[in-house]
A and B are shown apart, each in its own frame.
Chain A
Amino acid sequence: MTTISEPTSEPRVSTGRSGPGAEHARARVPAAGLAAGAVLAVVIATWLTLPGRVPGLPMPGTIVEYGLPVVRLVLDLAATATIGLSLLPKLLGFDDPDRTEPVAARARHWAVLFSLIWCAAALVSAVLSAAEVTPGAFPDVAAYVDGIGAGQGMVVSASCALASAAVGMLAVRFGEKVPAELRVLVAGFGLLPLPVTGHASNWYWHDLSMVSMELHVIGACAWVGGLVALAVLLPRHRDLLARTLPRFSRLATYALIVVGLSGLFNGLVELLLTPVESFPASLVTTGYGRLVVAKAVFTGVIALLGGNIRWRLLPAVTRQAPTAFAAWAALELTVMGLAYGVAVALTKTPVA
């Protein structure tokens, strides 16, 4: 078994040399990997699929063209973190509050902060979306929200994020007496309007593709959020990790199946129903098709990395042996971040 144990080493061992700051920084490597991968992917994908200039019409500025995907990415990542941190008490279990409480308290604290970031990102996203459709003029947010479902979706999502923050505040104050189910439910409800802002749903199989898209988003959030919560908060607590990782592993298996199938379904439906491109060729000829292929490849890589954690690391983790769990999780999260960035670009890229 691998014994590379830098990220999982106990604070007493490592801080003798490097100090508390390095320990904090190391604990955040998985989250940083997720964010860095996501930003990299979204900037590249946006740059590749930027629409050409339209003769005679003003184009949105660079701030809008790149800021909107990035803010949307911040929204997605904050929502994911909120879901994952709200889910963490369920993964930790309630059998041994003495040992889980310090970790759960940190999770509650961060969940509220990420809910607030989520709310702010949703509102900024609504403003930038309004600016995108009326370039050259002052963004008319009221008209955008009034007239377009995506704007309403953003406002609903922001409201749910605010409600999630309020429930999270109660949880910060009163501890796990505030049921984790309630927190997950409120935050999960805020996820539901988000697929509305993508164009993944089509006229023909509208209902089916909408449900599939909701499953895709919820599955991805539970999966990525759960992993990032585990990878950031738990590597130093080997006993907690030994109990939590098996539970998360089951969740991740279901999430992989749900996310993979629903994503494949939605991507292919969108490509099949496009009137101007024929299907198998459009996988490589259109920007949308290329992004779908990239996301499928990322999903495959994530599945391999997840399988590595599930089959090779999990037995050692359950024995509470030192493992490189944090390092592998950071790698997996980086690839997940790439997939998130591509996903944000995918919601905006025209198919044809």
Chain B
Amino acid sequence: MDQVARMCNDAPPTRGGRRTAGRTAPPPAAARTVPPRNRLRVLAVPLLALLSVILVATPARAHDVLVASDPKDGAVLDAMPASVTLTFDQAVRRDFARIAVTGPDGAHYEQGEITVDGRNVSIGVRAGTPGGAYAIGYRIVSNDGHPVTGAVKFSVTGAGAAPGTVTVPATTPAPGTGTATETGTTGTANSGTGTTGQGGGGWVWGLLAVTAALLALCTRVLVRHDRRLRDGTIPAPPAAGTPQAASPAGAEASATPASGSPASGTPASGAQASGAQASGTPASGTPASGTSAAGVAAADSGAEGPDTGRSTATGRSTAAGSSPAPGGAA
């Protein structure tokens, strides 16, 4: 019963009171002022933000947007140009950029390597293109890591009007010009993406696998720790300021019947949520507590055992049960 009385007395936040006492002139709304720890956090936030900007920011990072193209979208040309150029609003990354020029027959007509010059991305076009509707499909990765995709459509009236050689620099002349249309071009486009990290791919995957295993291990350790905590085989962490060693023998004894049951009932490799669920279920089997929630509270209080006589399981459950009394009266 003294717990109920204490509960009612403790209801106003004592932190605010302590704070008011420390001040010279307590404001009228002292209870509303920021707790000192909150203020510390408020200070820490901008500092952390600045630090992160210094640490992880790279010069330009934003979503690129297509602002112009040559040929323009919807243009009708007399002859196919030697190369197509897309212009974005910011400098474009070379890696991961891909452009495809699809003709009226569905075949690919791009040729050679993609060249990037600041905001311009261009690729050569194969000779001997038929007249008709063409589409330039592009995917570049902007500096924020997001792919930017889109298409520019144009049409060519004259058939086969393109010059035979492509004037774009860094063109690979020989192997795929005549025969390999789709495989050759996609192969060259792919080689651009794969150059940077082909050798490092293996260890990254290994690292990911190791990390995943580590995560699974951590989860398993935590769930097992939690279950043993509920069973009472290991002492719970002490509440702040209370000695850990003073665990009463009575609590251990009352917890032993519960510790026998869960080992058989729950599988060892339980999932996270189900593990937490299952750890509550065996506690309800103890005769003292009827409900699961009270059972958990009883297991916690019994295992931590901060004050020996008073805060046993029954004391805790009466405290929890009697709290609605003022509420029901109000």
Interface residues of A (CB under 8 A from B): 9-13, 15, 20-21, 23-24, 51-52, 54-57, 90, 93-102, 105, 109-110, 112-113, 116, 119-120, 123, 127, 129, 132-135, 137, 140-153, 156, 158, 162, 165, 169, 171-177, 181, 184-185, 188-189, 192-193, 196-199, 201-203, 206-207, 210-211, 214-215, 218, 236-239, 242-243, 246-247, 250-251, 254, 274-276, 318-322, 348, 350-352
Contact = CB atoms under 8 A, between A and B. Distances in A.
A98 B13 contact: no
12 contacts: A10-B320, A56-B135, A97-B239, A102-B300, A116-B219, A146-B196, A147-B196, A169-B221, A196-B57, A210-B49, A239-B323, A275-B67
B190 A137 contact: yes
Contacts of A175: 236-240
A133 B53 contact: no
Contact of B239 (A13, A21, A176, A181): A176
B10 interface: yes
Nearest to A105: B300
B48 A189 contact: yes
A156 B221 CA distance: 24
Contacts of B61: 149, 196, 199, 201, 206
| B: contact size bracket | 35 or more
B53 A207 contact: yes
A105 B218 CA distance: 17
Contact of B324 (A13, A134, A169, A207): A13
A276 B300 contact: no
Which 8 residue pairs of A and B lie closest in terms of their CB atoms, listed nearest first? A56-B100, A150-B145, A20-B292, A175-B237, A143-B197, A97-B239, A192-B52, A142-B197
Contacts of A198: 144
A169 B218 contact: yes
Given A143-B196, A181-B40, A98 B137 contact: no
A126 to B, nearest CB: 8
Interface of B: 7, 10-15, 31-32, 34-35, 37-38, 40-42, 44-46, 48-53, 56-58, 60-63, 65-67, 89-90, 93, 95-96, 98, 100-102, 108, 110, 135, 137-139, 141-151, 190, 193-194, 196-198, 200-201, 203-205, 208, 211-212, 214-215, 218-219, 221-222, 225-226, 236-242, 272, 276-277, 280-281, 284, 290-294, 296-297, 300-301, 304, 306-307, 311, 319-321, 323-324, 326-328, 330
Contacts of B146: 150, 199, 348, 350
Contact of B52 (A95, A193, A320, A351): A193
Given A147-B95, A199-B144, A193 B62 contact: no
A172 B323 contact: no
B93 A147 contact: yes
Contacts of A142: 196-197, 200-201, 203-204
Contacts of B38: 90, 247, 250-251
Nearest to B295: A20
A52 B296 CA distance: 53
B65 A275 contact: yes
Contacts of A184: 41
Given A56-B102, A133-B147, 16 more contacts: A11-B292, A12-B321, A54-B150, A56-B110, A99-B7, A102-B301, A113-B276, A133-B141, A140-B194, A144-B197, A147-B95, A149-B57, A169-B218, A197-B145, A243-B13, A247-B13
A123 B208 contact: yes
Contact of A214 (B48, B108, B327): B48
A320 B13 contact: no
A351 B208 contact: no
A20 B284 contact: yes
Query: Which of A15, A94, A142, A218 neighbours the largest number of chain B CB atoms within 10 Å of its CB?
Result: A142
B137 A54 contact: yes
B137 A123 contact: no
A112 B224 CA distance: 13
B312 to A, nearest CB: 12
Nearest to B38: A251
Contacts of B214: 162
A350 B65 contact: yes
B215 A119 contact: yes
A39 to B, nearest CB: 17
